[in-house]
Structure 1
């Protein structure tokens, strides 16, 4: 970099090897995917660090703009770059599920409607046979 971020108060020792952190996929090339970790640090997931198996198309695993978890393999604090991996970790960031509220009526409305739906379907099938 052209300027000293440490002199500007940036924590250059923010990340550690082996740590799993959240990042955003900023670019995809044939050889790997670029991931931004924060406003200063970015890294590359080399194609060999995508999966244990053969990766013919990185787009089958990642897409630009996707937020993922990555494992830090190596850190270059001088250039604020990291080598990353998603191999053998659950890299997809899952959305939190909203709990389903149970209604007081439960399945009663379905139970009440089921005979009507069955009867209507039987009529529909019989009408199709008569045509």
Structure 2
């Protein structure tokens, strides 16, 4: 079986460690690893609460190292996000934007700044 990045494949959990879960992919000799950060959306404390040995999982291939042949997998990429991806930023101003004063505040304080700098230089 020829694997490509982005393929969705099934496999069985063959090992669970603190850093991730190993998966035997059907039809492939090399095991893949689901890193703990790619298991699910949110914070993961214990992988044994998510996976059990021998469990069949559907995963996405994130990367295949061309030299070592190691396969990086993700189950998180298959999950729907539980939060709104559209984030609206409200523009905040340090002054009242309704007052059309332009650079008047800077112009008013500029002579004071110049005096402070000249005093520090001399």
Counterpart of 1:45 in structure 2 is: 34
Quick check: 1:32–1:45 contact (8 Å CA) kept in 2?
yes
- Alpha-carbon spacing, 1:39–1:74, altered in 2? closer, same or farther (3 Å): closer
Q: Secondary structure at 1:55's aligned position in 2?
A: coil
Q: How many residues are paired up?
A: 78
TM-score, normalising length: structure 1: 0.55
Instruction: Please give the residue correspondences for 1:1-131 in structure 2 after superposition, counting only pairs within 5 Å.
Output: 14-37=2-25, 38-89=27-78
Larger Rg over CA atoms: 2
1:116 is aligned to: none
- Two-structure CA RMSD over aligned residues (Å): 1.6
Question: 1:62 offset after TM fit, Å?
Answer: 0.6
Whole-Å separation in 2 of the counterparts to 1:21 and 1:72: 8
- The runs of 5 or more residues in structure 1 that have no matched partner are 1-10, 91-131
What are the Cα deviations for residues 93-112 of structure 1, in whole angstroms up to 9, with x where unaligned?
A: xxxxxxxxxxxxxxxxxxxx
Separation in 1, partners of 2:77, 2:3: 20
Alpha-carbon contact 2:13-2:24 (below 8 Å) kept: yes
Aligned partners of 1:81, 1:31: CA distance in 2, in Å?
Answer: 15
Cα pair 1:40 1:80 within 8 Å, conserved: no
SS in 1 for 2:48: helix
